[in-house]
Structure 1
């Protein structure tokens, strides 16, 4: 004849299971050693667009650079650049030529040891009627990672030197 199991045995098993899971979780969370680990995947690298490709070409081929063919929203020509007050500046002011119908515009920059390659960019509005497609120009700031320090400033769209740093 079998004796019935004591009533507290299932509770004892549940308590033991909880203690084991908590201990396993603590070990998993604490890790082994003091190394820092990265969890998750890094975002995929951004695909090179027209500006990235053109700026790299200018740096590689300088000073033998021809204008970029056609008009691209990522490569709008600059109408000019203001002379900086000193060689230590880390910000330039350029004049961006863009469509009067652009919803947004701005600048992009790639810096090398000898050059600062700058381009304007524009983003068209969703058509809500007629657009005159006239040229608008506005001043925009270009922030540099390092001082200008004698580097030449080059327009990515035209390949022409705007300033001699």
Structure 2
């Protein structure tokens, strides 16, 4: 009899544990996708930062570009880009793939005559506390200095063309 009661309590604990893990995952993602985030002009890309170096390499080597290795907070891959209404737009919307633990995220761009190189970025919470390794995606608006005018939109992390404007 004690064995059956012990098995029953163990099953209840396992179900409770599974439900609490599922609830934690739902809470972790509940802050994601709160509409579109508007990102103004971020700090301009410089040859000294990871994005500036990567964007310059893409412009120079286009179209023979390889993806970057690993995840870098300054070069997060994009899940896609929304097709703009016209070639005269000065704003594009990209979908940034970031960690569910990022407290801030966004996108930045570097423009050339033929390309608009875009990357996502994220800033994680402090190392204290628990964090899940879930991917979240959110739409981010990126302001352009000049109209898209037929330039290609390229993901800096993967090196792939997302759209031709």
TM-score, scaled relative to structure 1: 0.71
Structure 2 match to 1:74: 74
> What displacement does 1:47 show?
6.6
Equivalent residue of 1:162, what SS? strand
Determine if the alignment matches structure 1 residue 139 to structure 2 residue 139.
yes
Structure 2 match to 1:130: 130
| Structure ranking higher on relative contact order (CA contacts 8 Å, 6+ apart) | 2
Distance in 2 (alpha carbons) for counterparts of 1:97 and 1:59: 23
Distance in 2 (alpha carbons) for counterparts of 1:70 and 1:160: 16
Map residues 105-124 of structure 1 onto 2, 5 A cutoff: 105-124=105-124
Structure 2 match to 1:61: 61
Structure 1 match to 2:157: 157
The count of aligned residue pairs is: 120
> Could you say what the CA RMSD is over the residues aligned between the two structures, in angstroms?
1.0
> What displacement does 1:127 show?
2.6
Equivalent residue of 1:147, what SS? coil
Change (3 A) 1:116 1:105: same
Unmatched segments (≥5 aa) in structure 1? 1-45
Tell whether the 8 Å contact from 2:98 to 2:137 is kept in structure 1 after alignment: yes
Equivalent residue of 1:58, what SS? helix
Equivalent residue of 1:60, what SS? helix
Structure 1 match to 2:88: 88
Distance in 1 (alpha carbons) for counterparts of 2:127 and 2:103: 10
